[in-house]
Copies of this chain bind each other. A is one copy, B any other.
């Protein structure tokens, strides 16, 4: 299968209360690529937080004024170095600054993570089904750093209608031998792929991925399938 990834241009600045599903559906519908059953929309966290009002005011003259909010939003601090705080959030994500960030947000404000990004994805999906009669997958993505590897990449923090993890255990490799441990986090791979066309600076907040394996189109959840149980975790 060939995959095509389109940046979705023309999404206006998002304010609290905006019906993201209807808006994204309309913008895609008007784009030359349109929107069809089985497309996967990757929506960056920032516009989800803005639509849901997951924003806080900060002192725009103090570059560290969001740090007390980081401490409040985190359920656990894993590491600190200088201004860098690696946190576990209430959702179970391990990321810098409890996922709070200031880029592409109006001065004097910071965006928090959505309360429940799986639910946010589900709402967008349901709304597109309701208004356009189309069944699409939706991923809410955010930008996380990684231990051991420099540079950030986008990962999925919520999903609906698209598998978070595809379990290939029990399938056979090209030599007819059963694959041992191959649970692939396709939601993170889709989020990463989408970031290649969204970019950080351009402010394109949505990408459309066409050509995804139809077997992956199912109900799913990042919190249930991807967030690792701290008890199973070797690095916390």
Binding site for B on A (CB under 8 A): 1-7, 33, 78-79, 81, 86, 93-94, 102-107, 143, 146-155, 164-165, 168, 171-175, 177, 179-186, 188-190, 192-193, 195-197, 199-203, 212, 225-228, 233-236
* Given A147-B94, A192-B189, A103:B173 Cβ within 8 A: yes
Name the B residues within 8 Å of A4 (CB-CB): 2-5
- Report whether B234 and A152 are in contact in the complex, using a CB–CB cutoff of 8 Å: no
Name the B residues within 8 Å of A212 (CB-CB): 196
* Given A86-B234, A195-B189, A3:B2 Cβ within 8 A: no
Q: Which 4 residue pairs are nearest across A and B when measured between Cβ atoms?
A: A151-B185, A174-B203, A193-B193, A147-B235
What residue of chain B has the Cβ atom nearest to residue A191's Cβ? B192
- Report whether B227 and A105 are in contact in the complex, using a CB–CB cutoff of 8 Å: no
Whole-angstrom distance between the alpha carbons of A106 and B174 in the complex? Answer: 9
Whole-angstrom distance between the alpha carbons of A108 and B182 in the complex? Answer: 20
What residue of chain B has the Cβ atom nearest to residue A63's Cβ? B180
Prevailing SS type, chain A contact patch: loop
Say how far A103's CB is from chain B's closest CB, in angstroms. Answer: 5
A-B CB contact pairs (8 Å), 22 listed: A3-B5, A3-B196, A5-B193, A81-B234, A103-B180, A104-B173, A105-B175, A107-B177, A143-B184, A147-B235, A149-B185, A150-B183, A150-B185, A150-B226, A151-B185, A151-B188, A152-B183, A153-B185, A153-B189, A154-B189, A184-B200, A189-B192
Taking a contact as CB atoms closer than 8 A, the residue among B149, B165, B201 that contacts A173 in the complex is B201
What residue of chain B has the Cβ atom nearest to residue A1's Cβ? B197
Say how far A24's CB is from chain B's closest CB, in angstroms. Answer: 17
Taking a contact as CB atoms closer than 8 A, the residue among B6, B201, B236 that contacts A2 in the complex is B6
- Report whether B201 and A192 are in contact in the complex, using a CB–CB cutoff of 8 Å: no
**Most chain-B Cβ atoms within 10 A of its Cβ — which of A153, A180, A192, A235?**
A192
- Report whether B185 and A233 are in contact in the complex, using a CB–CB cutoff of 8 Å: no
Say how far A231's CB is from chain B's closest CB, in angstroms. Answer: 11
Say how far A130's CB is from chain B's closest CB, in angstroms. Answer: 28
- Report whether A197 and B94 are in contact in the complex, using a CB–CB cutoff of 8 Å: no
Say how far A126's CB is from chain B's closest CB, in angstroms. Answer: 25
What residue of chain B has the Cβ atom nearest to residue A152's Cβ? B184
